[in-house]
């Protein structure tokens, strides 16, 4: 069975306070985008030569026991005594980008296993497993525009549609780990009310909506503000870093030819849903 785990962007990201459990309370809007991996799971693979996990496309550098697809499988295997499976992940969403690729892969693994083995897991049960795997995972159980609070598990659906807008995502050669991004951030009460701000015309968002990670990561990685500035220069209505970076996206009213505009970077463009 095959599925297509998609990426997400963050529209605004307010880091409000550090929690006693080591996480941070945040406020952000998650929005799905059509940049996708390809995930295939085979139950009881008949070919003994199939590896338990095969990775094509972008090569993953984490050990198998840290791989979120494997961790998702182990969670369900323990409870439901699942048989061995073969997982093939063709990786397209870049790592260390703030696009939620690993989290999406994990949740789509849970959903595939639920379907393949007819486990009958309701969405709230999938969400419980998702939260065990990572804070961003919870969003992908909904996979539609939401405002998220807490560590990402307190959600409300928002009336926000960017259907028909074009998006360009640019990621430089380097990635930024979540640990690195949070280690230098200074939590604070935000003056930005995201729910109100997203109801204003998108052209006003640059004045109202910020990603708190940009303040220190742009100083540390000067290439990031240059990418953002170029996106605005070529006509973006709004541009921002996604999550903890290093991907920067721009939202445009019109389609653009971006050939050779961002040499050495991963570049993807698509239409918002």
- Cα dihedral 196, 200, 206, 209, rounded to 10, equals 10
What count of other Cβ atoms lies within 10 Å of the Cβ of residue 181?
22
In terms of C-beta density within 10 A (0-12 exposed, 13-18 middle, 19 or more buried), how is residue 128 classed?
Answer: middle
User: Which of 37, 105, 136, 212 is labelled catalytic?
Assistant: 136
Q: How far is 142 from 146, CA to CA, in rounded Å?
A: 8
Q: How far is 188 from 179, CA to CA, in rounded Å?
A: 18
User: Which of 8, 71, 91, 171 is labelled catalytic?
Assistant: 8
Is 8 known to be catalytic?
A: yes
CB 110 within 8 A of CB 72: yes
Is 226 known to be catalytic?
A: no
In terms of C-beta density within 10 A (0-12 exposed, 13-18 middle, 19 or more buried), how is residue 154 classed?
Answer: middle
| Stretch (H or E) spanning 33 | strand 24-36
- Enzyme catalytic residues: 8, 136
């Amino acid at each position: 069975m095959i599925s297509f785990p998609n990426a997400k962007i963050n529209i605004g990201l307010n880091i409000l306070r550090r929690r006693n459990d080591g996480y941070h309370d945040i406020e952000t809007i998650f929005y799905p985008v059509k940049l996708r991996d390809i995930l295939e799971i085979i139950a009881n693979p008949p070919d003994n030569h199939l590896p338990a996990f095969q990775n094509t496309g972008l090569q993953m550098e984490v050990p198998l026991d840290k791989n979120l697809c494997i961790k998702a499988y182990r969670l369900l295997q323990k409870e439901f005594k699942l048989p061995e499976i073969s997982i093939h992940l063709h990786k397209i969403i870049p790592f260390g980008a703030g696009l939620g690729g690993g989290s999406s892969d994990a949740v789509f693994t849970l959903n595939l296993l639920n379907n393949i083995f007819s486990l009958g897991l309701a969405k709230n049960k999938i969400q419980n497993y998702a939260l065990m795997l990572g804070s961003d995972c919870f969003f992908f159980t909904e996979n539609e525009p939401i405002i998220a609070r807490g560590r990402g598990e307190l959600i409300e659906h928002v009336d926000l549609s960017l259907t028909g807008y074009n998006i360009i995502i640019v990621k430089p050669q380097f990635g930024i780990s979540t640990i690195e991004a949070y280690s230098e951030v200074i939590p604070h009460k935000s003056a930005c009310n995201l729910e109100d701000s997203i109801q204003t015309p998108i052209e006003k968002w640059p004045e109202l909506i910020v990603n708190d990670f940009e303040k220190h990561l742009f100083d540390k990685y000067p290439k990031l503000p240059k990418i953002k500035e170029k996106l605005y220069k070529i006509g973006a209505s709004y541009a921002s870093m996604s999550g903890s970076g290093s991907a920067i996206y721009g939202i445009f009213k019109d389609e653009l030819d971006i050939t050779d505009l961002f040499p050495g970077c991963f570049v993807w463009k698509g239409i918002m849903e």
